[in-house]
Structure 1
């Protein structure tokens, strides 16, 4: 028997190699091509977070792994993975680096019979499959209460719109059986409008991989049970074993038929011919016999030539048909390869466009973010710089106008000029700063410090100046009040007793000179010195504030206090009096506050 293998490109060749090892002929004719289907981001995320993942085929694993890699996603570490067959499980291990559980019966029914899939109430289950098909798994798991969703990552599409070319090739190649692995492949094979091809398909044997496909052949295309063989699995080994068993079964059936054929039928014919020949030989003449022999020889020769020509024609037709089949197969493989190449090119171009678009978007986003960050930084730096510049300008103006500290104002303006070294378009502002510096350096320096220090020196001498106080004379020595025991001193004892009695009521002290000014105690002396110190400090403050009238009044008060309460005839008081009189004659030139151009220029530059 000769079989046609309809598996997709790249899968049927391995089965043909296995059959060739058993000296079985096979013709690879892919009837379906696999096209990748992009799953939605929501489907991929649901699959990554699922409790259970079920992979239907190797192509489902490959396409799903590629899409996960493209979106930089990964499966949950707690996810349970199931595969319909061992080859699918091997693909899971290769592309996803995970282990998948495989049922003993490698089909949909065997998968849903697993004990792990019995109690799945409220579990998230995602089936990774091709578009269409495998409804039995979904219905069963949904009936068990699972939160089911599907993720289609590829689809099967017929290589040709009609199967007539394939069927003509198979009929010419004398195909006896057809290997189909899906309902989609069955539909593609029976998609013919020629009655002869339909009739020929009704005589073929079909090797399928699941009972579901066998039922599809029976119901949709009226194929009998004797024409359908269900393989124990979808792997190449399982299909090769099934085909080998089918051929062995067919060989045993043919042997039994040959043994049942009667052996007596061919032995009767020679006896009848021999009897008739003996009867006719006596009646025929030699001439007739010779003519008959010549005629028979001519007919035999013509028949031999005809048979030989027919054999040559048949042989040549077989060779031509074989070459045509090979050409058709090569053409089909070439078309499949070209289609695959075109698909890969389209995918590569689409991925390149997508990557280019994503890269451009990321670059634009990064550039936008960088510009926003730089703008914010510039605003922050600009705000800090402008605040510092304003503060320096105000401080310079305060130094020059209020404190009359022209040198300090010059130092502040130099600091402001240095802060503008890295700023653009500052020529006008720097010109105003330099003009203000030159003006401040040209102004006369006030003698504020000399007057202030002179008053400070006088304040330090206040506690040392002598006040107008009376020096009390020394008290006379008090005579002893003790009475004498000598009788002769009776007069002295009487006087002493009288003085003692008088001292208890009245004390009389005698001085050599009269007291004119009142006596000052320590507190009064401290208050007088504090008053003089206050006048001098008030004069200091008034001079700094350029309050001439208050300055003169404070000096006048200090001179009056000095004349009234201090001894001006002594050198210390006299020196203080002279300095106060000199300070009183000091002129107070009222100078106008210098007007700086820097604050106005800075305000215009900031705007």
Structure 2
């Protein structure tokens, strides 16, 4: 049995899957989902983007919710997706959803963050056309680094915001109570917005919570955690289960 006892904060459905994977390797966890998903209504501009999907040399999908909601719209407008179009995902789990739909999906072998995707040679190949244009499927306000970097590379970028994440309503002190009752000794966040929700929900309990090891998905979120005063930050270099398990193996376990 591992000495790690983790607080999970992903959306509820993802917490269930992650908790099961952790349990399989002897790691106890408890969940306080800090991000709930609410689909957004389709706008006229978004409908136009989907109807003209074949004008994009690549489609980038940044998350599993974006993949599921985007595929629902794809089925509505494109029973047969544009032939040969390249689809890209930030991580393997999102990419698997796209592959299951029969799309030409690609993602980094190492690292499941924006930086790894932007360094992917297959993405550079897809963009090597006259007047490259990319559609990004994402949540409200998500992953600006991808859009900004592509724009700097001379790519015309359109964004399709399919959902918003929000902090569920919890009673005061829920984090501290869960940490105590479950005897947790580390916290896992999967995004910058998740970290912001953690800080917001913690309130005055943040002073104690920030002393625990904090597992984050990328250097960007690690920098945010540093700014917020977290004391022990572990960059998993990815938000997926495999990245977290690797980071847990590499970081010394707390004393029992």
1:134 aligns with 2:143: yes
CA distance in 2, matches of 1:125, 1:206: 34
Superposed CA deviations along residues 188-241 of structure 1, whole A, max 9, x for unmatched, are: 11114743x02112211111122221111112x1223xx111114322233223
Q: Is the contact between residue 112 and residue 240 of structure 2 (CA under 8 Å) also seen in structure 1?
A: no
1:88 aligns with 2:88: no
> TM-score normalised to the size of structure 2?
0.86
Equivalent residues in 2 for 1:111-510, closer than 5 Å: 111-118=117-124, 120=128, 122-160=131-169, 164-192=173-201, 194-195=203-204, 197-219=205-227, 221-224=228-231, 227-246=232-251, 249-250=252-253
CA distance in 1, matches of 2:64, 2:154: 27
Higher helix share: 1
Change (3 A) 1:83 1:183: same
How far apart are residue 82 of structure 1 and its match? 1.2
3-state SS of paired residue (1:10): helix
Q: Which residue of 1 aligns with 2:35?
A: 32
- Gap runs ≥5 in structure 2: none
CA distance in 2, matches of 1:112, 1:223: 28
1:12 aligns with 2:15: yes
Q: Which residue of 2 aligns with 1:107?
A: 113
Equivalent residues in 2 for 1:561-600, closer than 5 Å: none
3-state SS of paired residue (2:17): helix
3-state SS of paired residue (1:75): coil
3-state SS of paired residue (2:154): coil
CA distance in 1, matches of 2:157, 2:21: 39
How far apart are residue 161 of structure 1 and its match? 6.4
Q: Is the contact between residue 208 and residue 228 of structure 1 (CA under 8 Å) also seen in structure 2?
A: yes
- Gap runs ≥5 in structure 1: 256-607
Change (3 A) 1:98 1:117: closer
Superposed CA deviations along residues 325-353 of structure 1, whole A, max 9, x for unmatched, are: xxxxxxxxxxxxxxxxxxxxxxxxxxxxx
CA distance in 1, matches of 2:12, 2:93: 17
CA distance in 2, matches of 1:79, 1:135: 23
3-state SS of paired residue (1:26): strand
Superposed CA deviations along residues 243-302 of structure 1, whole A, max 9, x for unmatched, are: 2333xx135xx69xxxxxxxxxxxxxxxxxxxxxxxxxxxxxxxxxxxxxxxxxxxxxxx
How far apart are residue 73 of structure 1 and its match? 5.6
Superposed CA deviations along residues 446-486 of structure 1, whole A, max 9, x for unmatched, are: xxxxxxxxxxxxxxxxxxxxxxxxxxxxxxxxxxxxxxxxx
Kindly indicate whether structure 1 or structure 2 has the higher relative contact order, using CA contacts under 8 Å at least 6 residues apart.
2
CA distance in 1, matches of 2:172, 2:86: 41
CA distance in 2, matches of 1:157, 1:122: 36
3-state SS of paired residue (1:198): helix
How far apart are residue 172 of structure 1 and its match? 3.4
Higher strand share: 2
Q: Is the contact between residue 175 and residue 202 of structure 2 (CA under 8 Å) also seen in structure 1?
A: no
> TM-score normalised to the size of structure 1?
0.38
1:62 aligns with 2:65: no
Q: Is the contact between residue 129 and residue 150 of structure 1 (CA under 8 Å) also seen in structure 2?
A: yes
Change (3 A) 1:138 1:163: farther
Superposed CA deviations along residues 581-602 of structure 1, whole A, max 9, x for unmatched, are: xxxxxxxxxxxxxxxxxxxxxx
Superposed CA deviations along residues 489-541 of structure 1, whole A, max 9, x for unmatched, are: xxxxxxxxxxxxxxxxxxxxxxxxxxxxxxxxxxxxxxxxxxxxxxxxxxxxx
Give the number of the structure whose alpha-carbon radius of gyration is greater: 1
RMSD over equivalenced CA pairs, Å: 2.3
Change (3 A) 1:30 1:178: same
